[in-house]
Amino acid sequence: MNLIERPSTLQVNAWSGKHTVEGDLSATTPFAQRRQGDKPPQWLAAPGEVDLREWRHPEVGWGLVLPENDDLSPHERAGAEDAPLPIQQLLASRPGSPVLRWRQDLQQGYLRRYYANGKSPEDLSLLSLKPGIKEGHIPRYLLIYANPRQIPWAVQYALNLSTFVGRLDLTGEGLANYVNALIGDWAEHQPCDPAAPLIWQVNQGAGDITALMCRVVADKVWESFGSDPDLPRRHQLKEDAATAASLYAALSERQPGLVVTTSHGMTGPLDDKTALAAQLGLPVDVTGSPIALAGLLPWKANGAIWYAHACCSAGADGKSRYRGLFDADNRIGQMLNAVAEGAGPSIAPLPRALLGAPSPLRAFVGHVEPTFDWTLKDPLTGQSQAYAVCDALYPALYRQAPRTPIGYALSGVYKEAGHFYGAWQEAIDQIDKNVPGMRNWALYRQLVAMDRQTLVILGDPTVSLPKLALS
């Protein structure tokens, strides 16, 4: 086994309000040697004739995941009678789709399924299951309708390894806006333009993690767009053009079907919980200022899909998965603790606003945790370690006939997480055998796996870009 060096410091794609967040990495941390679960679940092989993009197929299927409600009868729980009316309407629009319940007393990797026909409830395991909508099955596509306090992010992370899962946490008018658009596939809205993808990439200078994200994510995706003659209206905003004002203008003028942003995510001020929560995860432009929700609200998303590679762009948790990796007085440790205390388990304001807008996004894809500079490149070769993300955005999301659901497009990212978890556990076994250098490999592999797994879909995982007018 080739030896790799453990970096003395790490950078994350988080912005304090004044500077990039970075911190020292202890040379002795046992963080990566803590086993955090069994080998990740894998789907059983699907019949060869079933295209997993066909979510309506009964052997693929879509289902709704809700928090358990012991006040209801099994029949009522099977019918989602405790869900808001728009969610019930969505369920009715997808006949045969099951309702599954997450219970805190079940082990992770299990969902309980109730039946309206009087059959006894079943606790179904993701480790040994049959995919689909039949009794005793779990659909491959799952929509969690719950906030992260009701159904923790950890549940979504686990489901990411074996299903195509999204989350929706809207109420009232915002929920109705999204569900009505989803049921009608945005037919009542002016169509966004899938041939006009927009990339907005912020570079805070050589040595900053944003420069690395530009190189391994934004530039790679842009190069892929450039090879496709069916994307003639693609547009890139970079360097001095990566300002908040230019983003607002490009969104309104070009009506992109896909928006890709790489930047820091706002994680400050650490001493003001209200202000931190209000601007959590907002992309930070080249001037160091977060984009403003007020500047985005005039834009009609019209069913666009937004991928935001920024710390906390999707939300925050009550306890970071990286807690214990850094000392409490470390800058990264301070940021992680402040975000957990100030925002807690929550959806970030940007996706919440745009998914619930009168003309909403189809989906928002972002991180709940930070990305580390170390995990974006191979420690031996220095080559990009973001291939799966780039491939998800193009070509996976753009494959036609049938259109590719966002959940399926991102499946390669979560498969990569599973592979790195497996390699991490192998490294732990090598540590136990005193193989030199395996502690560094274990830490690296665990951080890569966690980074990929904590990329989440907000919105329904079955949504896809509008059809392209192919040349």
Domain boundary among 406, 426, 456: 406
pLDDT of residue 138: 95
pLDDT in the model for residue 22: 86
* DSSP E strand boundaries for 154-281: 164-168, 198-201, 235-237, 258-262, 265-266
Find all residues with CB under 8 Å of 109, minimum gap 6, and list them: 41, 125, 126, 127, 158
Indicate if 95 and 200 belong to the same structural domain.
no
Which tokens in the block code for residue 66?
């809700």
- 52 within domain boundaries: no
Say yes or no: 149 and 214 in one domain: no
Of 114, 137, 169, which marks where a domain is finished? 169
Is 447 within the bounds of a domain?
no
Residue 442 placed within a domain: no
Residue 438: inside a domain = no
Residues 84 and 212 in one domain: no
Q: Are residues 232 and 146 in the same domain?
A: no
Same structural domain, 128 and 209: no
Q: Are residues 134 and 255 in the same domain?
A: no
Which helix (DSSP H) or strand (DSSP E) does residue 138 occupy? strand 137-138
Q: Concatenated DSSP letters for 52-65?
A: TT-TTSTTT-EEEE
Of 133, 154, 169, the one marking the end of a domain is 169
Same domain, 370 and 292: yes
Q: Are residues 236 and 113 in the same domain?
A: no
The HSE-up count of residue 268 (CA atoms within 13 Å, CB side) is 18
Residues 157 and 206 in one domain: no
Residue 95, in any domain of the structure: yes
- Statement to judge: residues 305 and 204 lie in one domain: yes
pLDDT at 43: 46
Same domain, 261 and 141: no
If one counts the domains in the chain, the total is 2
Is 235 a domain residue? yes
Type of residue found at 448: V
248 and 337 fall within a common domain:
yes
The pairing of beta strand 62-67 with beta strand 346-347: unpaired
- Closest by Cα among 125, 117, 111 to 42: 125
- Averages of pLDDT over runs of 10 residues in the chain (471 residues) are 76 83 74 54 56 96 97 96 98 97 88 93 83 95 98 94 96 98 95 97 96 97 96 97 98 98 96 95 97 93 98 96 84 92 97 98 97 92 92 96 96 94 92 89 91 96 92 59
What is the crossing angle of helices 85-92 and 172-183, to 10°?
Answer: 10
Element containing residue 156 per DSSP (H, E): helix 153-160
Residue span of the structural domain in which 297 resides:
193-406
User: Distance between CA 466 and CA 257 in Å, rounded?
Assistant: 8
Residue tagged 């580390």 (tokens): 372
Specify the amino acid at residue 267.
T
Does 150 map to a domain?
yes
356 within domain boundaries: yes
What is the model's pLDDT at position 45? 44
How far apart, in whole angstroms, are the C-alpha atoms of residue 180 and residue 426?
47
* H or E element in which residue 459 lies: strand 455-459
CA 403 from chain center: how many Å?
A: 20
